[in-house]
């Protein structure tokens, strides 16, 4: 199924990666990653352009996914996507808030789960687009640059080890968000202590 889908979009070249990336951010269950890899394998010299087209399309599709979540709610996720993806993403969103969106761009959980959940939770659409812009840039351009620099030799890294690489980035980001949270909490506590001392 995955191969058939990527082969279908592959036939349309740049238009194919654009359409697949756009609908990938909305509701389509198969990630645009597969089409990007297939097209980059065919022509490694165009890999960065393919990454750029896919990246722009993904950002354009992000607010559409958000609107679906806002208007139709969480049931739409259960209708089209695996329950385990929805559960993990919901747990991550509840626990980590805005960090979940950025980290979601690096995890195997399809990104449309996070775009729709953002709408369900009435999260800021501009923050969603901002975090999507950072996270999806990394995901698209790591693949694009790898193929551009190393050609078809990148296939093994991209298909077998990229998930671990992205998971490593996600862990680092989680740690940064955790320390940021603690720092903000400490700053809030300082004025309270000063007020108590004065009082």
- Res. 40: pLDDT tops 90: yes
Give the model's pLDDT for residue 73. Answer: 74
Task: Kindly report which listed range (94-103, 166-175, 185-194) carries the lowest average pLDDT score.
Answer: 185-194
Give the model's pLDDT for residue 52. Answer: 97
How far apart (Å, rounded) are the C-alpha atoms in residues 145 and 150? 8
Rg, Å, the chain Cα set: 19
Q: Please report which confidence band the pLDDT of residue 72 belongs to, taking 50, 70 and 90 as the band edges.
A: confident
% the chain with pLDDT above 90: 28
For residue 144, give the nearest of 105, 136, 115, 167 by alpha carbon: 136
Q: Say what the alpha-carbon torsion angle 169, 163, 27, 60 is, to the nearest 10 degrees.
A: 50
Q: What is the pTM of this model?
A: 0.79
In this structure, are residues 167 and 107 in contact, taking their beta carbons and an 8 Å threshold? yes
How far apart (Å, rounded) are the C-alpha atoms in residues 81 and 110? 9
- Res. 117: pLDDT tops 80: yes
- Mean pLDDT for 63-78 is 83
Q: What DSSP state is assigned to residue 154?
A: G
How far apart (Å, rounded) are the C-alpha atoms in residues 94 and 165? 25
């Amino acid at each position: 199924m995955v191969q058939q889908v990527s082969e279908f979009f592959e036939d349309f070249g740049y238009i194919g990666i654009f359409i697949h990336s756009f609908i990938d951010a909305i509701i389509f269950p198969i990630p645009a990653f597969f089409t990007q890899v297939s097209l980059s394998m065919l022509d490694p010299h165009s890999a960065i352009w393919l990454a750029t087209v896919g990246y722009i399309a993904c950002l354009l599709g992000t607010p559409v996914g958000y609107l679906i979540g806002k208007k139709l709610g969480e049931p739409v996720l259960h209708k089209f996507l695996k329950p385990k993806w929805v559960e993990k993403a919901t747990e991550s969103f509840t626990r980590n808030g805005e960090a979940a969106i950025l980290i979601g761009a690096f995890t195997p959980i399809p990104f449309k789960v996070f775009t729709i959940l953002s709408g369900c939770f009435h999260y800021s659409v501009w923050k969603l687009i901002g975090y999507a812009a950072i996270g999806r840039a990394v995901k698209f351009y790591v693949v694009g640059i790898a193929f551009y620099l190393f050609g078809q030799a990148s296939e093994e890294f991209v298909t077998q080890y990229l998930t671990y690489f992205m998971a490593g980035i996600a862990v680092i980001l989680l740690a940064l968000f955790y320390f940021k949270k603690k720092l903000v909490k400490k700053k809030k506590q300082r004025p309270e202590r000063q007020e108590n001392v004065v009082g």
